[in-house]
Structure 1
Amino acid sequence: MVRTLQPGQCCEVWAASVTGESSRVFRTADMLLEAPNWTLDGRALILNGDGKLWRFDLATGSLSEVPLTGVPDLNNDHVLDPGGSGIFVSGDDGHIYRAPLAGGHATRITDDDGSFHFLHGVSPDGRRLAYVDIAAGDFTRPGRLRTVPSAGGPPENVEVGQGHCDGPEYSPDGIWLYLNTEAFTTAPGHAQLARVRPDGSQFERLLASGTVDWFPHLSPDGRLASYVRFPAGTRGHPADLPVDVVLVSTSDWTAPLSTWAVFGGQGTLNVNSWSPDSKRFAYVAYPMDAAPAIRA
């Protein structure tokens, strides 16, 4: 389902620095944009909105559609091909596609296996994708962690215990999958950050917290990570509530380096949004603000 802004709501795209500053780079009341990816040349952000893919040029502040064919409406699960010329996207039909980042025809990757497939990660060599499998598209059932060849083929399960998991993303060296999971708790919806080897071994918790923690994203140099922190008691990753965007060192997930409070949640930080130089990352906020939209 394509998300839209509520009456009086705005969409703001922000760039956060590893030194703790943040700046608003775009603001609109015309369309709800989600889940920025930073392009490998450092010049643009790729976002979804109105079921389409968009490119935001950081130098000019211009937003332009990436024209794709052969795909249904898109959701906020999209990641760049490591080579920089392609992008993997998830459609609202429950399938994963690959498309040229400059626009063009998309090719479906996943099979009709009775599940919905929600993309989150691509291996550094571009050969495998990590995704969450929802059996029969039944969202009352927990997501299962799977990987699949990026050219298509049979998927493989990665065992991570009981409970829902989401956001599986490869580390820059490809030897870990980072994710959020409910496997460490009996409290409904209490997602925590974890990692596991792609073969399912060494499944381990990264942080024990009283908050609901989602979508860990490592910087390209592997030294830092961002994630989104929901209030205790949150189930899933809903939209339109106060959340924190958190920056940590991967050597110590327990001590935030910086925290940004935003009104958002769903769409704020669903995919990896780090700049290629590991100095900044992007996120989206959705404040309720009836003032006319301007570009900051």
Structure 2
Amino acid sequence: MATTKADPDTGMAPRELKPGQRTRVWVASLDSDTPELVHETSDILLEAPNWSPDGGSLLLNGDGRLWRLDLGTEAARPVEIPLDGVPAINNDHVLSPDGEYVYLSGMDGHLYRAPRTGGPGVRLTGDDGTLHFLHGISPDGTTLAYVEIPRGVDGAPGRLALMPADGGSGRVLDTGDGHIDGPEYSPDGRWIVFNSEAFTTAPGHAQLVRLPAEGGPVERLVTSGTVDWFPHLSPDGRFATYVAFPAGTLGHPEDLDVAVHVVATDDWSTPLRTYPLFGGQGTLNVNSWAPDSRRFAFVSYPLDGR
């Protein structure tokens, strides 16, 4: 499959499978220790599944494009969702609460909105000197939560910002020192959960936290020796998933031995399920819970010999 070229302004480009590497898309259930392999391919590197509102398919990005993978059919293959006027996208995309739209992060560092089933897209962010990486939308569909990073500043930490879902200027919330990523609203709209490096002195040691959606003190959700990224809450708010990287990891790189953890939100310290895998980047970047709050999807990237 042809690769989309890097964006000329940001240098960002879609990831590719390495020789001997495969994409495996999994669906796990709270009722089973064994996840189900729903798709495997050596043709394209797919990332970051969202679950469709009807529970029948997953939306994933790959090669800078958006794809739909129908579930319940053994021979199902990804079908491209055409997005007119939207540049190559990365793995930061979310669905509107009503399922009508998909909000996307472009490789150009801007945010876009398009119909979930395909069609014309619209750019939502202005030229404000920052890169925008989308992760959450409020339950009422009015506000986007994203990470803001200054353009052209190497090593600048990401900051939590909010903006109207119809477009406009963003406002930054105070989350203290240290890089943050993965901001996502709780289903009741009261909280924003994310990972933050503000609670430790070890470089890159991200931990899971939350703060009130209107701003306020940041609360650590769990203390761990792993580098924890991308907390995602189930639609009923009772459970969460996240990906744990080895201690000492900087950022959320690809091709590492990591683990996807499932916890109850009243006890983040005790995983209910743990799924070890080879992956990291692309495995669980966005919320991948099914509407029934009992299943979720994730992606691994095994290499020959592993």
Deviates more, 1:146-155 or 1:15-24: 15-24
Q: Of 76, 86, 89, which aligns to 2:104?
A: 89
Unaligned regions of 5+ residues in structure 2, if any?
Answer: 1-12
How many residue pairs get aligned? The number is: 291
Residue aligning to 2:20: 8
TM-superposed CA distance for 1:62, in Å, is 2.9
TM-superposed CA distance for 1:158, in Å, is 1.1
The residue type paired with residue 28 of structure 1 is T
- Indicate whether 1:30 and 2:40 are aligned: no
Unaligned regions of 5+ residues in structure 1, if any?
Answer: 291-296
Instruction: Provide Cα deviations, 1:188-210, integer angstroms capped at 9, x if missing partner.
Output: 10000000012221310000111
Q: Distance in 1 between matches of 2:78 and 2:161?
A: 34
TM-superposed CA distance for 1:154, in Å, is 1.7
The residue type paired with residue 82 of structure 1 is P
Residue aligning to 1:273: 288
Q: Which has the higher contact order (CA 8 A, sep 6+)?
A: 1
Q: Distance in 2 between matches of 1:177 and 1:35?
A: 20
- Indicate whether 1:76 and 2:91 are aligned: yes
Deviates more, 1:55-64 or 1:230-239: 55-64
TM-superposed CA distance for 1:289, in Å, is 2.9
The residue type paired with residue 226 of structure 1 is T
Q: Distance in 2 between matches of 1:229 and 1:59?
A: 29
The residue type paired with residue 81 of structure 2 is V
Residue aligning to 2:209: 194
Instruction: Provide Cα deviations, 1:53-101, integer angstroms capped at 9, x if missing partner.
Output: 0000002323100001111110000000111111000000000000001
- Large movers: runs of 4+ above 6 Å: none
TM-score, with length taken from structure 1: 0.97
Instruction: Provide Cα deviations, 1:84-138, integer angstroms capped at 9, x if missing partner.
Output: 1110000000000000011011001111100000000000010000000011153
Q: 1:137-156 to 2 correspondence within 5 Å? A: 137-156=152-171
- Match of 2:136, SS state, is strand
Q: 1:1-296 to 2 correspondence within 5 Å? A: 1-19=13-31, 20-60=33-73, 61-289=76-304
The residue type paired with residue 271 of structure 1 is V
Q: Distance in 2 between matches of 1:62 and 1:157?
A: 40
Q: Distance in 1 between matches of 2:243 and 2:50?
A: 16
Residue aligning to 1:294: none
Residue aligning to 1:293: none
Q: Distance in 2 between matches of 1:255 and 1:59?
A: 32
Residue aligning to 2:7: none
- Match of 1:251, SS state, is coil
The share of aligned pairs that are identical, in percent, is: 60
Q: Distance in 1 between matches of 2:108 and 2:66?
A: 16
Q: Distance in 2 between matches of 1:154 and 1:11?
A: 37
Closer/same/farther in 2, CA of residues 30 and 236 from structure 1, 3 Å limit: same
The residue type paired with residue 5 of structure 1 is L
The residue type paired with residue 177 of structure 1 is I
The residue type paired with residue 9 of structure 1 is Q
